[in-house]
């Protein structure tokens, strides 16, 4: 086996491992979380590069925050102060 073949097998193995780890992580993370992080990431990116944030993006961010805190409040009220 040449060094080139060995390198190709190593890269293939690392790629396969990366795909498997990513798949496992995506099964653990809710799609809503990925969706939310995407919109917050877009907002932060626009803030960093000093571009105006569109009204639609502001509205989506506010709705996601309201949903998140509303869900937390509902759990708090349902389970009492201990939050179990």
Task: Write down the pLDDT at residue 22.
Answer: 67
Q: What is the pLDDT of residues 17-48, one digit of tens each?
A: 777 776 666 667 676 677 777 777 788 888 88
Give the three-state DSSP class for 50: coil
Q: Which long-range contacts (C-beta less than 8 Å, at least 24 apart) are formed by 32-35?
A: none
């Amino acid at each position: 086996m040449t060094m080139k073949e060995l390198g190709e097998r190593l890269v293939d193995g690392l790629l396969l491992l990366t795909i498997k780890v990513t798949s496992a992580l995506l099964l653990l993370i809710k799609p809503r979380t990925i969706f939310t992080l995407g919109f917050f990431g877009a907002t932060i990116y626009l803030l960093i590069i000093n571009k105006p944030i569109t009204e639609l993006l502001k509205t989506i961010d506010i709705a996601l925050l309201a949903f998140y805190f509303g869900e937390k409040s509902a759990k708090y009220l349902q389970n009492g102060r201990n939050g179990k």
